[in-house]
Amino acid sequence: MNKELLRRLPKMDELLDMDSVKKYLKDSPRKMVLESLRETLDYFRKSILEGAIEDFNNEDIANKFENIIELHNKSKLNRVINAAGIVIHTNLGRSILSEKAMKNVIEVAANYNNLEYDLEKGQRGSRYSHIEELIKEITGAEAALVVNNNAAAVMLVLNTLCENKEAIVSRGQLVEIGGSFRVPEVMKFSRATLVEVGTTNRTHVYDYENNIKENTGVLLKVHTSNFKIMGFTEEVSLEELAVLGKKYSIPVVEDIGSGVLIDLSKYGFIYEPTVQESLRKGADVVTFSGDKMLGGPQAGIIVGKKEYIDKIKKNQLTRALRIDKMTLAALEGTLKYYVDEEYAIKNIPTLNMMLMSKEDLKKKAFKLRKKLRSATENLLFNMAEDYSMVGGGSMPTEKMPTYVIKVKSDKLSEKQIEEMLRKNNVPIVARVYNGEVILDVRTILEEDMDIIAEAFKVIGENVI
């Protein structure tokens, strides 16, 4: 029986003559088609020998071949649906780009552009000039520079202003962010010497002042964006540091991490220092991320006094950390919205998701529940109130009230449901909590609801 089935397996040239294979030969590499056919044959041979297949026809072979070649064709980096309710999810690519940002990227990437060409003068220009004015206008800074990410920004600033010199930092701010950004490590690479002052929970102005020497290069303040020390604590304010910096002519550098440009406390959020405010309070140089609460692409933005930014621009390291044209295009598109606060909140997905009203979230949840209930009757979908998180190491204590859909089945465990969602053609990342699969509507895009419903339809069919 097995031998008979094995003998019936088509030869390679027969396979190459099949319509479904010919279709792929037109626009896929021939090598990939051949490899996929070999894998298809291997699959059938193995299944026959194991007794897993008792019969097959050409259509079975064509289907298997299509599955295999589609897998080969598929990118490894793919879109996913964020149903976890963490707005700035670092594992899921942080911020979603806004419309203007997307439009700019496509236009600039698909065409030649004036990246380093001054169209006014008809000569070589600077890639940094395009958005410097915009950043200055929004933040009130004297000058600005953009690099690869905030880690690069911090390293570049320290290397420029503090190489072979000492940077004074409070012990309470020697943070690690996302397991990859550690202030002491970044310092080492920048060749600045770290001078830790104060204790984990309390640092006073005199701790800084007592450690100022001939060789002090920078007074550094790091925003402890991803944790909060509660209780008996004291931090030296930026104003106090600025006074000290002036007194001894030492630049004050602040890494504020997330980089909010809008004061979100008026929308009910805990207070988070804005870039504008840090500059107003006297920081000489401020660095922040482009893809956290700013809602743009991965980037590190450096703003501050012109004398320091000019030095940083001249550092050879800037060349190695430089930002590419697609990122610049996305950043400019994002920043354009910030000229007007309402406009930014309405159009930048990260801000929009963070500030979505409870009524809107409720409406969204009703809509999703309805779609899910009509997709399958084999799972239970219930609406509930819950909390979403900002994520990206931003506002760690902030819990945003939201609505979620809780999914239950008496046949499938929450782990099985979570896995099936995760392995969906468009992967859906959900939260599992207390034995339930939870879909937070805050981070789910309206246009993705049908994909989620379709995924549950398939899961529902598997229940019985």
Ligand X SMILES: *Cc1c(COP(=O)(O)O)cnc(C)c1O
Residues engaged in binding ligand X (CB under 6 A):
149-151, 177, 181, 222-223, 225, 255, 257-258, 289, 300, 393
Nearest residue (CB) to ligand X, 258 versus 376? 258
In whole angstroms, how close is the CB of 149 to ligand X at the nearest point? 3
Give the 3-state secondary structure of residue 215.
coil
Nearest residue (CB) to ligand X, 218 versus 361? 218
Closest C-alpha among 412, 423, 341 to residue 81:
423
Number of helices and strands (H, E) in the chain?
Answer: 20, 18
In whole angstroms, how close is the CB of 108 to ligand X at the nearest point? 21
Residues in the chain: 464
In whole angstroms, how close is the CB of 378 to ligand X at the nearest point? 42
Residue with smallest beta-carbon separation from ligand X: 257
Nearest residue (CB) to ligand X, 223 versus 369? 223
**The tokens of 350 are what?**
């990260």
In whole angstroms, how close is the CB of 224 to ligand X at the nearest point? 7
**The tokens of 429 are what?**
């990342």
Nearest residue (CB) to ligand X, 58 versus 397? 397
Asked if 419 and 413 count as a contact pair (C-beta separation under 8 A), the reply is no
Cα distance between residue 106 and residue 148, in whole Å: 19
**The tokens of 420 are what?**
């099936």
In whole angstroms, how close is the CB of 433 to ligand X at the nearest point? 25
Cα distance between residue 106 and residue 335, in whole Å: 17
Nearest residue (CB) to ligand X, 198 versus 259? 259
Nearest residue (CB) to ligand X, 157 versus 404? 157
Nearest residue (CB) to ligand X, 257 versus 282? 257
Residue 110, sorted as left (phi over 0), alpha (psi -120 to 50) or beta, turns out to be alpha
Cα distance between residue 416 and residue 412, in whole Å: 6
In whole angstroms, how close is the CB of 117 to ligand X at the nearest point? 28
- How far are the Cα atoms of 239, 379, 456 from residue 254, in angstroms, in the given order? 12, 51, 47
In whole angstroms, how close is the CB of 272 to ligand X at the nearest point? 11
Nearest residue (CB) to ligand X, 149 versus 159? 149
- How far are the Cα atoms of 216, 380, 452, 458 from residue 376, in angstroms, in the given order? 66, 9, 12, 8
Quick one: which H or E segment has residue 300?
strand 300-304
In whole angstroms, how close is the CB of 393 to ligand X at the nearest point? 5
Residues 6+ apart with CB under 8 A from 115: 108, 127, 325, 328
